[in-house]
Chains A and B, each alone.
Chain A
Amino acid sequence: MIRSLRWRIQAWHAVVLTAVLSIFGVVVYHLQWQTRLHQIDAELNRTAEVLTSRVRRLFPKGQVSNWRPPMELPGVVEREWLQNLTSANLSKTENEPTPQSPQQPVVSADEDERSLSEEFRVQRIGQWPFPYAEPRDETTPFLADEQWLPEDFTALFEGEEAPLHYTVWDRDGVILRKSYFAPLVPFKNLFKGWNSMPVQEVQSRGGLREVIHCTSFGHHVLVGRSIQEDVAAQHSFGWLLAACGWAVLTLGVVGGGWLSGRTLRSITAMSVIAKSISGENLSQRIDLAETDSELGQLALVLNQTFDRLQLAFQQQLRFTADASHELRTPLAVIVSQTELTLAKPRLTDEYRAALETCQRAGRRMRSLIDSLLLLARFDAGHPDLQHSSLDLAEVANESVELLRSLAAERQITLRSVATPLSVVGDRDRLGQVVTNLLANAIRYNQVGGRVDVRVERVNGDAIVSVSDNGIGISAEELPHIFERFYRVDKARTRAEGGTGLGLAICQSVVEAHGGQIIARSEPQQGTTLEVRLPLSPETGKDVQNL
């Protein structure tokens, strides 16, 4: 049971931990990728800004606004225009060749682009916007016109290992400028119309990340770079994250197992102790080292339960011992007396005396057994009471009359003040209670003492109180007087004492009637026993079998 609880806790712990770690990992991975892309975009945008400003300077507003898109013979007008535009740059490039602009790649690229442009030209006819850009002529876009870019920028776009590439095209899809290794791929037309707001767009395709800036005149500036390295870096970051996740998961599961084992160990210890507590060994208790924790509280509750159990068990044991003692003594009298009498021939008077002794013992046993059976019935919840409406004052007065001779014998004044009160109950049993209380008050009183019986109505309850001015009961003994076989006066010999069950029976009877019995006592002043019974719901009216 405990074992399975432990494994359940551990399994749930592992599942929850895995879920949390997975979500966390995915979020972190995604955020990291977004941040990386954001940095790339920012870099690309910065570069694109510079290029855009350069394009504006190269292609001022007047020139572009006069130009019309060629419909029939694309390329002718542009070529002229472009030649006008860049003739100065071209001549400059030819006169002063720079080491960064090798001639050979220009030619080969030129050929490639020309063959490509043939295809594009075919597709382009009658289409606008265009799916693909085309070079304006064989030479212009591919010139190493680094002059149009700032010095420190040129290095970014040159060589096969160049980190960035750019392409500049106009609203007709004609490529105006292009870095040497810029891939020729489908271009977008973002131009919405003259004097519209500049547009920026970001796109990812293949292993490339690109930003496109469109000026208000329809010049598109694309700056891109390969992000394959970034993807690889992100992948390795992902693997690292997964590895960390596994490590945390393993640690978490192992730590959780250790924790649950530790927690359950105290439960196991508690259950071992609880198991070891039996009828023979009720004194053991759970160690209350951590009373503040929930387990400590549980242990405390269990210990209190064990305390009550032990007390009940001890009371039961004492009751059994007392009952057997009380029964064995008269039995011993009968057995011994008969053995003694039969040992040899006796005189008639001796036989008579022996029989009288046996009779006394037998009567005592009968009274004891009757009392025990009565108590057992009350304990079992079958008091077998004959309920009827009765006058409590009448019951009390009957008991007083019954004991008047005993009181007179001991020179005790017996007084009774009884108000007629109707209660529902068993007449015989209630009479027995009052008689018992009265007999105790008379028996344990001093010669010439006084006993008062009072029947009155207090706070909607019927009260029968019996008070005496005897020696009283000490505060230590008062709580025990309703216990079975408890004798306040240990000095009383068995000859004059009762069974020791009288008050216990009184308590059972009163409680079975829904009432309670209270004892108050002042040593050397006297004792008052008070029976509180509920009044009958409709006073004066018969209520049968309530």
Chain B
Amino acid sequence: MRILVVEDEPDLLQVVATTLREAGYAADAAADGEDGLFKAKTWEYDAIVLDLNLPKLDGWSVLQRLRTVKRTPVLILTARDTVSDRVRGLNSGADDYLVKPFALSELLARIRALIRRSAGQAVAVIEIGDVCIDTVAKTVTRNEDLVPLTPTEYALVELLAMHRQKLVSRTTIYDHLFDEGDDSLSNLVDVHVSNIRKKLGREFVTTRRGQGYMIQG
């Protein structure tokens, strides 16, 4: 899961990005509106955390321009707490609104909910056969036994599970799993898939050679 954070306060940007990375997301950072809009248009993010008071281009403009081309879920994170600001933000196309100062756990929960909803998944726990994926605790159990997965392996399982019965291309996997600072080699995806197969069973992930992967479930 890859998330863009647009925030002009460098310390806060740092904190939010670190939090997201520690929660297993790939996080990109943008310090002003123009940079944020460019990145949001270029990459396929699972969610965007957007401040409103931004240099160069304010948050509302970023949102309006983004909405002409993309439907990426957007969470507004701002110090503006008046009702009119919230209404304006949501009317501009935002999916959620969080006022500073905030609890990181709430930010994470809201981001999870945004991603889940945009993937058409209503609940936080996904069950595929005897495999159960808890997106809150970020754990996978098989026959109620905890399966130890690395964060990247978990993220890959979650991505495929969110889009189950659909083909997920290698490009999509790269876009959603690794942030712009990540310089992993492309064949690493194969390594992660092979590790997942070892832990969850060979038939859990199906390979379409030259196209991508999918979970049949």
Q: Judging by beta carbons under 8 Å apart, are A335 and B32 in contact? A: no
Q: Chain B contacts of A229 at CB under 8 A?
A: none
Most chain A beta-carbon contacts within 10 A, residue among B8, B78, B79, B99:
B79
Interface residues of A in 320-335 (CB under 8 A from B): 321, 324-335
Inter-chain CA distance A188–B79, complex, in Å, is 114
Chain B residue, CB-CB nearest to A344:
B22
A331–B100 alpha-carbon span in the complex (Å): 8
Q: Which residue of A lies closest to B52 (CB)?
A: A325
Q: Is A336 an interface residue (CB 8 A)?
A: yes
How would you classify the secondary structure of chain A's contact residues: helix, strand, loop or mixed?
helix
Q: Which residues of A contact B101 (CB under 8 A)?
A: 328, 331-332, 334-336
Q: Mark B141-158, 1 if CB is under 8 A from A, else 0.
A: 000000000000000000
Which of B11, B16, B79, B81 contacts A360, CB < 8 Å?
A: B11
Q: What's the least CB distance linking A518 to chain B, in Å?
A: 28
A494 touches B (CB below 8 Å):
yes
21 A-B pairs within 8 Å (CB atoms) are namely: A321-B85, A324-B81, A325-B80, A327-B79, A328-B101, A330-B9, A331-B101, A332-B12, A333-B9, A333-B12, A336-B12, A337-B11, A339-B104, A340-B22, A343-B104, A357-B15, A360-B11, A493-B31, A493-B32, A493-B55, A495-B10
Residues on B with C-beta less than 8 A from A491 are 32, 55-56
Query: Do A337 and B15 form a contact, CB below 8 Å, given A325-B79, A491-B32, A493-B8?
Result: yes
Given contact pairs A326-B79, A339-B104, A493-B8, a sample of 20 additional A-B residue pairs in the complex whose CB atoms are under 8 Å apart:
A321-B85, A325-B79, A329-B12, A332-B9, A333-B12, A335-B103, A336-B12, A336-B102, A336-B104, A337-B15, A357-B11, A360-B11, A361-B11, A490-B55, A490-B56, A493-B10, A493-B55, A494-B8, A494-B9, A494-B10
- Tell me how far the C-beta of A154 lies from the nearest C-beta in chain B, rounded to whole angstroms: 109
Are B103 and A339 neighbours in the complex by a CB distance under 8 Å? yes
Q: Is A492 an interface residue (CB 8 A)?
A: yes
Closest to B12 in A: A333
B15/A333 in contact, CB under 8 A:
yes
CB proximity to B under 8 Å, residues A472-519: 490-495
Bound-complex Cα distance A490 to B33 (A): 11
Q: How far is the CA of A344 from the CA of B23 in the complex (A)?
A: 12
What 4 pairs between A and B have smallest CB-CB spacing? Answer: A328-B79, A332-B100, A325-B79, A332-B101
CB-defined contacts of A361 to chain B, threshold 8 Å: 11
Q: Assuming the A-B contacts A321-B80, A328-B100, A335-B102, are A343 and B12 also in contact, with contact meaning beta carbons closer than 8 angstroms in the complex?
A: no
Interface centre among B9, B11, B102 (most CB of A within 10 A): B11
Contacting A at CB under 8 A, from B78-114, are: 78-82, 85, 99-105
Instruction: Please indicate the chain B residues that have their CB under 8 angstroms from the CB of A329 in the complex.
Output: 9, 12, 79, 100
B interface, how many residues as a size bin?
Answer: 20 to 34
A490-B56, A491-B32, A491-B55 are known contacts. Are A333 and B81 too (CB-CB below 8 A)? no
How far is A304 from B215 in the complex, measured between Cα atoms in Å? 69
A357 to B79: give the CA distance in the assembly, Å.
Answer: 19
Are A340 and B80 neighbours in the complex by a CB distance under 8 Å? no
Question: Is the Cβ of B11 less than 8 Å from the Cβ of A333?
Answer: yes
Query: Residues on B close to A: CB < 8 A?
Result: 8-12, 14-16, 18-19, 22, 31-32, 53, 55-56, 78-82, 85, 99-105
Of listed A329, A335, A337, A357, residue having the most chain B CB within 10 A:
A329
Verify A336–B16 contact, CB threshold 8 A: yes
Number of interface residues of A (CB under 8 A): 28
CA distance A361 to B15 in the complex (A): 12
CA distance A354 to B14 in the complex (A): 10
B102 interface neighbour in A330, A332, A493, Cβ under 8 Å? A332
B57 nearest in chain A by CB position? A490
CB neighbours of A324 from chain B (8 A): 79, 81
Residues of A within 8 A of B19 (CB): 336, 340
Contact pattern, A 339-366, Cβ under 8 Å of B = 1, otherwise 0: 1100110000000000001001100000
Chain B residues positioned under 8 Å from A332 (CB to CB): 9, 12, 79, 100-102
CA distance A344 to B55 in the complex (A): 34
| CB <8 Å contact, A357 and B14 | yes
Which residues of the partner chain B approach A344 to less than 8 Å between Cβ atoms?
22
Contacts of A340 in B (CB 8 A): 15, 18-19, 22, 104
Report the separation of the CA atoms of residues A433 and B46 in the bound assembly, to the nearest whole angstrom. 49
A329 to B15, CA, bound (A): 12
Q: Point out the residues of chain A lying under 8 angstroms from B80, CB to CB.
A: 321, 325
A340 to B15, CA, bound (A): 7
Contact yes or no, B55 A321, CB < 8 A: no
Distance in Å: Cβ of A215 to nearest Cβ of chain B: 109
Please, which residue of chain B has its CB at the minimum distance from the CB of A325? B79
Contacts of B79 in A (CB 8 A): 324-329, 332
Q: Which of the listed residues B19, B99, B101, B103 has the most CB atoms from chain A within 10 Å of its own CB?
A: B101
Given contacts A332-B102, A340-B104, A491-B32, contact A325 B9 (CB under 8 A): no
Residue of B nearest to A487 (CB): B55
Q: Are B55 and A492 in contact (CB under 8 A)?
A: yes
Task: Compute how far the CA of A331 lies from the CA of B9 in the bound complex, rounded to whole angstroms.
Answer: 11
What is the CB-to-nearest-CB distance from B27 to chain A, in angstroms, rounded to a whole number?
13
Contact residues in A for B103 (Cβ distance below 8 Å): 335, 339
- Bound form: Cα–Cα A324–B79 in Å: 7
Q: Which residues of A contact B53 (CB under 8 A)?
A: 325
Inter-chain contact A343/B100, CB cutoff 8 Å: no
Q: Roughly how many angstroms separate A326 CA and B101 CA in the complex, as a whole number? A: 11
- Segment 271-330 of A: residues with Cβ below 8 Å from B: 321, 324-330
**Nearest CB in chain A: distance from B77 CB, A:** 8
CA distance A357 to B17 in the complex (A): 14
**Nearest CB of B to A325, in Å:** 4
Measured CA separation A328–B14 after assembly (Å): 17
- Inter-chain CA distance A329–B10, complex, in Å, is 11
Once the chains are docked, how many angstroms separate the CA of A324 from the CA of B101? 11
Residues of the A chain whose Cβ atoms lie less than 8 Å from the Cβ of B105: 339
Which residue of B is nearest A322, CB measured? B53
Most chain B CB inside 10 Å of its own CB: which residue of A324, A344, A494: A494
Given known A-B contacts A331-B101, A336-B104, A339-B103, A321 and B82 have beta carbons under 8 A apart: yes
* Residue in chain B with minimal CB distance to A495: B10
A339 to B106, CA, bound (A): 11
Bound CA span A321–B52, Å: 13
CA A339 to CA B19, docked complex, whole Å: 9
Q: Which residues of A contact B99 (CB under 8 A)?
A: 328
Give complex CA distance A339, B104 in Å. Answer: 7
Query: What is the CB-to-nearest-CB distance from B3 to chain A, in angstroms, rounded to a whole number?
Result: 15
On chain A, the residues within 8 Å of B12 by CB distance are 329, 332-333, 336
Q: How far is the CA of A495 from the CA of B11 in the complex (A)?
A: 9
A332 to B103, CA, bound (A): 9
A343 surroundings in chain B (CB, below 8 A): 22, 104
**For the complex, what is the distance from the CA of A492 to the CA of B9, rounded to whole Å?**
11
